[in-house]
């Protein structure tokens, strides 16, 4: 019969306190060096995601207008409805008041974008209400005339990071990054 070897606790080798402190100090240094890069990566992903959500909502507004063959509007939440960072509502304006209400068919509601993302916009008509609307043909239009094109740009900002959503005269939408893409102009970064 073979004998079993027992490991004696006195013979086991571990790490000394000094060795553990040295490893911990190196980990803290690596984390301190990498943390700013990680924060920048998180901010870049956050604005990319927010721009993608707004882009998708505009595309859904257009698709719903074509599927229903009627005007569908998208309005920034909050009063006076000019801050897209507060979220948005996509609706069929049944009562014609250009504000989502009880008589309207609400298709989608999106809550506020994460802070510190800010928004700005430029549309062909600078006067309120600030909305995006599509007619049944899938063309961007004004709230008073379904045949009048309404194009523009919605910009999202997170510090120096910028993403823009451009709507052309036909209602087509594209997402761009002014640091990489040409023809991606829009409002300046807010102070």
What value does the mean pLDDT take over residues 12-28? 82
Looking at residue 90, its pLDDT comes to 95
Q: 3-class secondary structure for the chain?
A: CCCCCCCCHHHCCCCCHHHHHHHHHHHHHHHHHHHHHHHHHHHHHHHHHHHHHHHHHHHHHHHHHHHHCCCEEEEECCCCCCCHHHCEEEEECCCCCCCCCCCCEEEEEECCCCCCCEEEEEECCCCCCCEEEECCCCCECCCCCCCCCCCEEEEEEECCEEEEEEECCCCCEEEECCCCCCCCCCCCCCC
Q: What is the pLDDT of residue 191?
A: 67
| pLDDT interval class at 29 (50, 70, 90) | confident
Report the range of poorest mean pLDDT among 38-42, 106-110, 124-128, 173-177.
Answer: 124-128
pLDDT of 182: 87
């Amino acid at each position: 019969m073979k004998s079993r070897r027992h490991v004696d606790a006195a013979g086991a080798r571990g790490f000394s306190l000094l060795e553990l402190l040295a490893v911990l100090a190196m980990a803290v240094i690596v984390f301190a060096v990498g943390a700013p890069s990680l924060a920048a990566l998180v901010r870049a992903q956050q604005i990319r995601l927010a721009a993608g959500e707004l882009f998708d909502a505009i595309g859904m507004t257009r698709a719903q207008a074509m599927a229903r063959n009627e005007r569908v509007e998208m309005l920034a939440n909050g009063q006076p409805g000019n801050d897209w960072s507060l979220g948005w509502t996509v609706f069929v304006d049944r009562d014609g008041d250009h504000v989502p209400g009880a008589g309207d068919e609400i298709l989608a509601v999106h809550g506020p974008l994460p802070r510190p993302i800010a928004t700005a916009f430029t549309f062909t008509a600078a006067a309120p209400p600030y909305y995006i609307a599509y007619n049944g043909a899938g063309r961007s239009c004004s709230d008073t005339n379904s045949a009048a094109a309404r194009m523009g740009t919605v910009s999202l900002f997170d510090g120096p990071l910028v993403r823009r959503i451009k709507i052309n005269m036909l209602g087509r939408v594209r997402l761009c990054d002014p640091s990489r893409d040409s023809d991606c102009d829009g409002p300046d970064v807010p102070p």
